[in-house]
Amino acid sequence: MPFSVAFVAFCLVFMVWALIADRLKPGLILFSCVVMMLCAGILQPKECLEGFSNKGMITVALLFLVSEGVRRSGILEQIILNILPNKRTTGTKANAKLLPTIAALSAFLNNTPVVVIFAPIIKNWARKVGLSHTKFLIPLSYATILGGTCTLIGTSTNLVVDGLIQESGREGMSMFELGKVGIIICLIGLAYLIFYSHYLLPDNRESEQEEKNIPDGIHLVEVVLRSRFSGLGKSLREFDFYRHYGAHVHSIRRGGTLLTGDWMNTPLMNHDTLLLDTDDKFVQTYQESTAFLISSYDSDSQPLDHKKRYLALILLVFMITGATIGELPSIRVLVPGFKFDMFFFVCVTTIIMAWTKIFNPRRYSKYVSWDVLVTIACAFAISKGMQNSGFADAIADIIIACADAIGQTEHGPYAMLAILFLITNIFTELITNNAAAALSFPLALAVAEKLGVDPMPFFICICIAASAAFSTPIGYQTNLLVQGIGGYRFTDYTKVGLPLNIIVFIISVFVIPIIWPIR
């Protein structure tokens, strides 16, 4: 085995181990892998930096700001409050109203703000109408993932793959290219969640919020710690929560389990759920905090911003419609040399939102998930290193040999798609979805080039498989968010998520070759 192939294999094993062990933030782990390949001469400095100027990566950054503008405008709150029934209902009927709407919104907005806004509202609503919030929050996360498979901007993973496609010298995907298979997956997945998920999900587990005799003026508020919380790694005896935020910590939940014993000396971790005793001002003061997410509280929602709601909605429709129409051949002929693509329209939309103060332009850097962007940029470099070293070609030979052995001649394409889907899906359940897509892309490209076929069906397969993170809470950020809010355990995701993984796998393997023939 050549040194370069062996070294890249070592780098990738190290990267996967570090991501699973959560040694550092994903961005720094992937950057470490890039530096290792740079030191070995597998990557050149220019190749290490190309991902930071990639159009797909910049588009993801700007979409964070657009999503923040939509979030602050109050559109999403208004939508969800109009959908939720005001009287007692069943979980199936409520999910039948909620999930299709959530999936439709997440097809055009970043999944995380959709979950951040909807999860606390749904949890409070469920308590008021006497339903278990645990029947709704995992389906909420999964519906955003399913919706994200329907459009190019539905998830950052799609934009990463599209950026890699364009870097390889090929035409990128159109806005609704993925929707040809994504809509089928979304509809069948939503039907499964609506009619069957409530049988697999737990009822509400014990919660301290049910305690009585709370003094007047004091409220019980749940918060989920985020990566920017300054007390991570410190215990509550080391980090004075009351001095920082004016609230007393009542209890801590981690991974759906209440910490007992000497929990005051337990170091705080990302996605821990804290139950607080606090006053009326806490929610109003910290509802937009970047340190934690307020996931539940026993007071009414804050009033919505009516002035900016419709402008934000108009700009969102302008961005989506413009990017869709701009891809038409007639538009390209009408304005040669100028590309009216998603990048163009998201740039225009972001600037208008900034100048009209739909999001706070003085704090715009706080709304961007920089670690996600570093992860994406480094993923481009790692993908290039896999190609430069010959590692991708070596794995492609193994995939082709396995497909030949499993599927013989007539079923070979299906077998190759199945193998590629499983590789990508295992990666995305264990590490990050963007890293999984970047690792699988050079394998897909190498397989297509060796067979002399169109690589597009393999690229579509990667997009779907990298998003299908249903079986574990760590595969997708929204899964981790609802774990803290809903008090779920790891096994809850496996029970309801594994059948959904199988559904998506079967649809992808059999439908993708029909829409994008492997020839």
* Domain covering 208-297, topology: Alpha-Beta Plaits (3.30.70)
- Residue pair 175/152 in contact by the 8 Å Cβ criterion: yes
Retrieve residue 398's tokens: 């193994």
Q: Alpha-carbon distance 330 to 236, whole Å?
A: 62
Would you kindly state where each structural domain of the chain is located, as residue ranges? Answer: 208-297
- β-bridge mates for residue 258, sequence order: 253
Specify the pLDDT at position 141.
Answer: 93
Phi-psi region of 305 (alpha: psi -120 to 50; beta: other; left: phi over 0): beta
Positions of the chain with pLDDT under 50: 208-212, 299-304
Cβ atoms of 100 and 191 within 8 Å: the answer is: no
The encoded tokens of residue 183 equal 């809509």
> Per this entry, what is the length of the chain?
519
Of 122, 117, 136, 133, which is closest to residue 84 (Cα–Cα)? 122
Helix, strand, or coil (residue 249) = strand
Q: What is the pLDDT of residues 318-376, one digit of tens each?
A: 988 888 887 777 777 777 777 777 888 999 999 999 998 888 888 888 788 888 888 88
Pairwise CA distance, residues 113 & 130, whole Å? 26
359 touches 72 (CB < 8 A): yes
The span from the CA of 130 to the CA of 372, in Å, is: 38
Report yes or no: 518 and 454 within 8 Å, Cβ to Cβ: yes
Q: How far apart are CA 263 and CA 291, in angstroms?
A: 21
Over 446-498, what HEC string results? HHHHHHCCCCHHHHHHHHHHHHCCCCCCCCCHHHHHHHHHHCCCHHHHHHHHH
What is the C-alpha separation between 419 and 412, in angstroms, rounded? 11
Angle at Cα 299 formed by Cα 296 and Cα 301, nearest 5°?
Answer: 80
pLDDT for position 515: 92
pTM over 0.85? The answer is no
Half-sphere CA count of 397, side-chain side, radius 13 A: 4
Is residue 220 a contact partner of residue 250, using CB atoms and an 8 Å limit?
yes
Tokens standing for residue 145: 């993932």
Distance CA(344)–CA(306), nearest Å, equals 28
CA 422, 425, 429, 430 torsion-angle sign: positive
Task: Tell me the HSE value of 337 on the side-chain side, using a 13 A CA sphere.
Answer: 0
Instruction: Please count the helices (runs of H) and the strands (runs of E) in the chain.
Output: 22, 5
- Closest by CA to 485, choosing from 283, 274, 290, 266, is 274
Q: What is the pLDDT of residues 266-290, one digit of tens each?
A: 899 888 888 888 876 787 777 767 7
How is the beta sheet containing 219-225 ordered, strand by strand? 257-258, 248-254, 273-278, 219-225, 292-297
Task: Give Cα 348 distance to the centre of its chain.
Answer: 24
Q: How far is Cα of residue 355 from the mean position of the Cα atoms in its chain?
A: 28
| Sign of torsion over alpha carbons 468, 473, 476, 479 | positive
